[in-house]
Every structure is written in structure tokens, then in C-alpha cells.
């Protein structure tokens, strides 16, 4: 995919919008989403509207027109108080605007009359941040004149804090706005339908206040798109901070000194650069610079350090990260970086659309069909590595009870070591790996199949044997096809020692798993918690070079045909180990290790 690019995850944006919308709604506050940070990108605007947002706001008429021309169906609010020279366009191209100058409002009135329109306005009140707004003592005078203008409807009042001067929207400030609203309504016998208390920076006030007073509206940009509270920079619970990711490519990677060699003058921006001596370092150059994005607003996902940037380059200390020329390097963005990246014509906008459950399942089923076809022809070059019982290890593991008597949870030696490392990582997280199943004999596999088939027969008495087989085979492999017979497959879950329960993976109640399509690892319709937990489980195994099954988030393969197909190997290392082999091996080696004969 082309770089530099910004990956825009519409599903995550929609999620953030829905979470914040219902949070603020719980105390009677409606939200307007401010699209200036994404330059009024129509796909983003559409997903916001689909998520229930009714009013979209932007500081630029050009962005509003872009959304309208793309067919976005919303009410459009202009939030930068208008230039008098653009008054006609404001009336024609927007539905509502924030205002603070009577001369401008008069011009809006003239054009509204000319075009037979009514333009709605929200009067901005200055409460200390010293950007736009009428000082409270002069507000009544302005309102008296506004109410006399034809073609103008006073929709409400608002304020904007935490921008120019960083003044916090405290309870005191919000109460002040409420009091002003009440007194205006009383004095002029009008109803103000919008009392707009501010922007994303109002989050902490909202979370801590008992009474929001008359405030019934907020205009949110940053918190919806980036999931942060701007005054403290802290992530807002339940929101995604990575709905936008900026990706740049490595064009040079060399070991060089951390300090320059020569006499130092001004750099290309007229500043005197400073350098920290870290000796020789792995310096990488990325093909992206301050001409593309506000580099100071980038946070790398990897453990690397941004050393500096020029117009076209970002220089990083690659530290120990596995980068090479051509590698992608990803960053999350702060607001300034988001705005500049979205506005850069050099950065391509890569829209990631949320996938419906049905579409996802169809893709997975097709992948799985292909996978099965390829495993059937994958050659096996058996490496004769032994089976070892996980029960004989001193790893911290929990073993799920098996229907097979004297089950020993056998895996290949390499898999045994990998499980050991995974269990150690979990120890540090206050968690324990649950081993549900490992090597299974044909007899064991048949038992599982029969048990499921009889359960399904009871559940669906009208279905034919063939239909039952089809359902069962969705999740249980026929004995000869199961990779569990190789000693390279492990079924695992995670136990949370602090919460004293099996983690929630979306289809399980403790150890019991409901077998249905939501077991497909990345099914979109499971809770955020379950998604996070599956991610953890799968990452632990993938980091050890296992592959996760397409349909079962708990099943992992290494070394066998399932693994070889997914990893594009020429052959698999682990073939089927039959019961008879393992048994005779047990006789020869009665203690811990069983050898394949």
C-alpha cells in the first residue's frame, strides 16, 4: 500500500462517536461533531451521520460544501465566526453559524432577506479564554438588536474555552453561561434552544459535575477522532486512540553517530539544533517531513525515538526494532498532526470500512475452504521430534478436564518450549494459560465428534444425519483431518488470577464455549473487552510463530500442515502421530518423553 498514508478506521470513529454521544446524552447534552480536524472528509462525515450525529460543524465553508456536494445529510454549522466578506456564502451554504459581531450578523440578515432564507445563529459569549465572544455585560444590547433583524433566528448562545488561552471550562464558567441563558430568556421572553458549553475540553467538567445546568450542547472534534481529553492529554475510557494511524516508509537505515561531525550553524529552519550523545546508533530516515505533517504531534507505535525532521525527512533512532529499508513505521497522532496530515496532498487517505458480520464470516469461510484444500496437498517432512507432556512441566498452567481418560496434554518438544515462554509472560500479567487440549488420538477425536453430533441431534431433531454432520464439521474436524493428531496443535484460553475467572472471549462462559460463528477470531459483533482479550491470546501465540485457526480463536498450530500452509512453507515438520506409536513409545520411555517411532 502506498506511503506516506493515513489509515482511517471508520469503525473506530463510529464507536467513539456512539460512546461519547450516549455518555453526554445521559445528562441531556447533545453533541455536534466538529469536522475541521479531518477537513470535512465525506466518508468520515457519513459514518458520523450513520452513528446518529445530526449536526456537523466546520470552521471552513469549503469543507462544508465538500460534504454537501458528496451528499452528506446533516445540518451544517459554521464554527469560525464568519468573515463579513463571505456573508452571502454563509447564508447560502450553511444552516447555522456561531457569531460575535453585529456588523456581520446584519450582513447575514441582508443576504438572508435577499435569498428568502432564515439563517440561524448562536451568539458566542466571552468567558475568559479571549478568543471569539461578546463580553457578558454587552450581550443584552447585542441581542436586542439581533432580535430586530429579519432573516436571522437566534438559536442560542455558546462559549468557547480552552483554546487560545487554555482557560478550563470549570463548573463556575458553565454556571455562568447557564445564568446568562436564564436571564436572557426572562428579559426577552424567548426560548434559547441551544446552550453550547464548549468543546472536547469540557469532558472533565461533565464527568465531575452533578448538575449541568442549562448546558445542552457541546461541539466535539478531538475527543471523537483521537479519544483524548485535550486539557490533560489523557485517554478517555472506552474510546479508541488509534482511529487514525500515520504510516511512513524507511528509505535509509544505517549505523551512524548520534552527534554530527563539523561546526554547527543554523539548520534548514533557522534554528540551532542540539544533539544528545548516545554513541553510534541505528539511524533510519522516513520519507515524510514537516511539509507533510506536524512532526511534533506524532507518537510512534514502536520503541523508537524521533530525533528530528526536515521538510521531507523524519530521522529516527531505530533502537532495537526490526526495521529495514522499505519497512512501514506507524504513528498515532495528536490533533495538530491529524489536521496537517488530513490536509496534506502528499499523504494518501486510506479509508478502512467496518465490515458487516455476514461479510466477515463469508470471507473467513472462503479462506477456510481454501486452507483445507491446500492442507490436503501440503507435503510432510516428519522431523521425528518427541512429544512431551505439559503436565510434567513446572510451567504455571491450568488443564481443562478432558473427556479422554488419563489424558496427558502431549505436545512436540518445540511447542512445549513455546508454551513455557508464553506461560512466563502471563505470570507477569497476573494471568495463567489454560490448556484445553493438545495431542489427540483418533479415538479421542472421534469421541469429541460423536459427543457433539449427539448434542446436535437432540437440539435439531428434524435435521438429517448429513445436515448434522455439516454443522458438527464446522467446528470439529473429522479424526483424520484434525491437526491435534500431530502434537503441533494447542487449544488454549487465559485465566485472570486477579478477577478469579476465565477471561471473556465473547463466546465463552468460563470454560464452556458456545460453538458458533462468533468464534471466528475477528468477528465484529463481540464486545470490546472480548476483542481485547482475544487480541492478547492470539498475540502471545503469534509471537511464538503459531498460527491461529481461521474459525476458532483458541486453536493454535505450529509445525503441522495447518501452520505450513499459512506460513507459505514448502513442507510441514509434524505429521500425524497415531495412538499405537505413542503407546509403544510410552513403553520404551516410561517417564516424561515420548518419541515418535
Ligand X SMILES: *Cc1c(COP(=O)(O)O)cnc(C)c1O
The residues binding ligand X (CB under 6 A) are 34, 36-37, 59, 79, 98, 160, 199-201, 219-223, 230
Pair 164, 129: CB distance under 8 Å: yes
Peptide bond into 4 cis (omega under 30): yes
Q: Say how far apart CA 58 and CA 585 lie, in whole Å.
A: 73
- The x, y and z cell numbers of residue 438, run together, are 493438545
Q: Would you call 42 exposed, middle or buried from its count of C-beta atoms within 10 A (0-12, 13-18, 19+)?
A: middle
The residue count of the chain comes to: 597
Nearer to ligand X, 125 or 329 (CB): 125
Of the two residues 80 and 283, which places its CB atom closer to ligand X in the complex?
80
Cβ at position 138, least distance to ligand X in Å: 20
Q: Is the distance from CB of 458 to CB of 515 less than 8 angstroms?
A: no
* CA distance linking residue 136 with residue 120, whole number of Å: 21
10 Å CB burial of residue 327 (0-12, 13-18, 19+) is middle
Alpha-carbon span 250 to 121, nearest angstrom: 49
Residue entry with cell 426577552 = 188
Residue nearer to ligand X on the CB measure, 158 or 575: 158
C-alpha to C-alpha distances, 516 to 32, 124, 458, 508, 538, nearest whole angstrom: 39, 54, 17, 11, 19
Using CA atoms, how far residue 78 sits from 151, 152, 264, in Å, is 17, 15, 48
Nearest approach, Cβ of 360 to ligand X (angstroms)?
A: 32
**In the sheet where 410-412 sits, what is the strand order?**
410-412, 387-389, 593-594
Give the chain's radius of gyration (CA, Å).
31
Spatial distance between the Cα atoms of 445 and 480, rounded to a whole number of angstroms: 9
Q: How far apart are CA 97 and CA 89, in angstroms?
A: 11
d(CA 120, CA 133): 17
Q: How far is the CB of 352 from ligand X (least distance, A)?
A: 22
CB-nearer residue toward ligand X: 244 or 563:
244
Residue with Cβ nearer ligand X (4 or 37): 37
Nearer to ligand X, 16 or 59 (CB): 59
Name the residue whose CB lies closest to ligand X.
221
At 456, list the grid cell: 446436535
Which of 221/559 has CB closer to ligand X? 221
User: Which C-beta is closer to ligand X: that of 99 or that of 389?
Assistant: 99
Minimum separation from the CB atom of position 248 to ligand X (A): 25
- Nearest residue (CB) to ligand X, 199 versus 216: 199
Catalytic-role residue among 12, 18, 27, 36 = 36
Q: d(Cα 360, Cα 497) in Å, to the nearest integer?
A: 33
CA-to-CA distance for 27 and 24, rounded, in angstroms? 6
| Cα dihedral across residues 405, 408, 412, 416: positive or negative | positive
Cell 509472560 -> residue: 425
Q: Is 431 a residue of the active site?
A: no
- In order, the DSSP letters of 23-87 are HHHTTT-EEEEE-GGGTT-HHHHHHHHHTT--EEEES-HHHHHHHHHTT--SEEEE-SPPPGGGH
User: Which residue, 59 or 155, is less far from ligand X as judged by CB?
Assistant: 59
**Closest by Cα among 79, 20, 526 to 225:** 20
What dihedral angle (degrees, nearest 10) is formed by the CA atoms of 111, 116, 117, 121? Answer: 40
Least separation in angstroms between residue 87's CB and ligand X is 18
- Active-site residue list: 36
Amino acid at each position: 500500500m502506498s506511503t506516506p498514508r493515513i489509515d482511517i478506521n471508520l469503525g473506530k470513529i463510529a464507536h467513539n462517536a456512539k460512546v461519547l454521544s450516549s455518555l453526554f446524552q445521559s445528562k441531556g447534552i447533545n453533541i455536534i461533531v466538529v469536522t475541521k480536524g479531518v477537513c470535512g472528509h465525506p466518508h468520515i462525515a457519513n459514518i458520523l451521520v450513520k452513528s446518529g450525529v445530526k449536526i456537523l460543524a466546520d470552521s471552513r465553508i469549503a469543507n462544508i460544501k465538500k460534504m454537501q456536494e458528496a451528499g452528506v445529510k446533516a445540518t451544517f454549522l459554521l464554527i469560525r465566526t464568519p468573515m463579513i466578506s463571505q456573508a452571502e456564502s454563509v447564508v447560502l451554504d450553511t444552516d447555522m453559524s456561531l457569531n460575535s459581531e453585529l456588523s456581520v450578523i446584519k450582513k447575514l440578515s441582508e443576504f438572508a432577506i435577499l435569498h428568502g432564507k432564515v439563517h440561524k445563529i448562536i451568539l458566542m459569549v466571552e468567558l475568559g479564554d479571549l478568543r471569539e465572544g461578546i463580553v457578558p455585560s454587552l450581550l443584552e444590547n447585542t441581542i436586542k438588536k439581533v432580535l430586530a433583524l429579519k432573516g436571522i433566528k437566534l438559536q442560542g448562545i455558546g462559549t468557547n474555552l480552552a483554546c487560545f488561552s487554555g482557560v478550563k471550562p470549570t463548573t463556575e464558567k458553565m454556571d455562568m453561561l447557564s445564568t446568562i441563558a436564564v436571564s436572557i430568556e426572562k428579559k426577552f421572553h424567548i426560548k434559547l434552544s441551544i446552550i453550547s458549553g464548549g468543546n472536547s475540553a469540557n469532558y472533565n467538567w461533565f464527568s465531575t459535575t452533578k448538575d449541568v445546568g442549562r448546558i445542552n450542547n457541546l461541539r466535539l472534534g478531538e475527543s471523537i477522532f483521537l479519544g483524548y481529553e485535550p486539557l490533560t492529554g489523557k485517554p478517555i475510557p472506552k474510546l479508541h486512540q488509534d482511529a487514525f494511524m500515520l504510516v511512513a516508509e524507511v528509505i535509509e537505515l544505517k549505523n551512524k553517530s548520534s552527534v554530527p561531525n563539523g561546526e554547527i550553524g543554523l539548520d534548514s529552519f533557522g534554528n540551532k539544533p542540539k544533539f544528545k550523545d548516545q554513541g553510534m546508533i541505528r539511524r533510519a530516515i522516513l520519507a515524510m517531513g514537516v511539509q507533510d505533517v506536524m512532526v511534533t504531534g506524532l507518537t510512534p507505535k514502536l520503541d523508537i525515538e524521533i530525533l528530528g525532521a526536515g521538510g521531507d525527512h523524519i530521522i529516527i533512532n531505530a533502537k532495537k526494532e526490526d526495521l529495514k529499508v522499505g519497512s512501514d513505521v506507524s504513528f498515532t497522532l495528536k490533533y495538530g498532526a491529524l489536521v496537517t496530515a488530513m490536509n496534506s496532498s502528499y499523504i494518501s487517505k486510506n479509508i478502512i470500512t467496518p465490515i458487516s458480520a455476514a461479510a466477515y464470516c463469508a470471507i473467513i469461510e472462503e479462506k477456510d475452504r481454501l486452507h483445507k484444500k491446500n492442507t490436503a496437498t501440503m507435503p510432510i517432512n516428519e522431523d521425528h521430534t518427541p512429544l512431551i507432556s505439559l503436565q510434567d512441566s513446572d510451567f504455571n498452567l491450568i488443564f481443562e478436564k478432558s473427556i479422554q481418560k488419563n489424558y496427558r496434554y502431549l505436545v512436540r518438544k518445540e511447542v512445549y518450549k513455546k508454551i513455557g515462554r508464553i506461560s512466563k509472560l502471563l505470570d507477569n500479567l497476573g494471568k495463567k494459560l489454560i490448556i484445553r487440549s493438545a495431542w489427540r488420538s483418533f479415538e479421542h477425536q472421534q469421541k469429541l465428534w460423536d459427543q457433539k453430533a449427539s448434542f446436535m441431534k437432540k437440539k435439531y431433531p428434524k435435521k438429517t444425519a448429513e445436515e448434522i454432520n455439516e454443522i458438527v464439521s464446522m467446528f470439529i474436524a473429522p479424526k483424520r483431518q484434525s491437526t491435534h493428531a500431530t502434537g503441533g496443535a494447542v487449544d488454549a484460553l487465559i485465566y485472570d488470577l486477579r478477577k478469579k475467572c476465565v477471561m471473556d472471549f465473547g463466546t465463552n462462559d468460563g470454560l464452556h464455549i458456545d460453538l458458533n460463528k462468533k468464534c471466528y477470531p475477528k468477528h465484529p459483533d463481540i464486545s470490546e473487552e472480548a476483542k481485547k482479550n482475544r487480541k492478547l491470546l492470539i498475540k502471545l501465540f503469534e509471537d511464538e510463530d503459531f498460527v491461529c485457526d481461521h474459525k476458532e480463536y483458541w486453536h493454535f498450530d505450529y509445525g503441522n500442515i495447518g501452520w505450513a500452509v499459512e506460513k507459505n512453507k514448502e513442507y510441514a515438520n509434524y505429521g500425524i502421530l497415531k495412538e499405537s506409536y505413542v503407546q509403544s513409545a510410552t513403553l520404551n520411555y516410561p517417564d516424561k518423553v515420548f518419541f515418535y517411532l
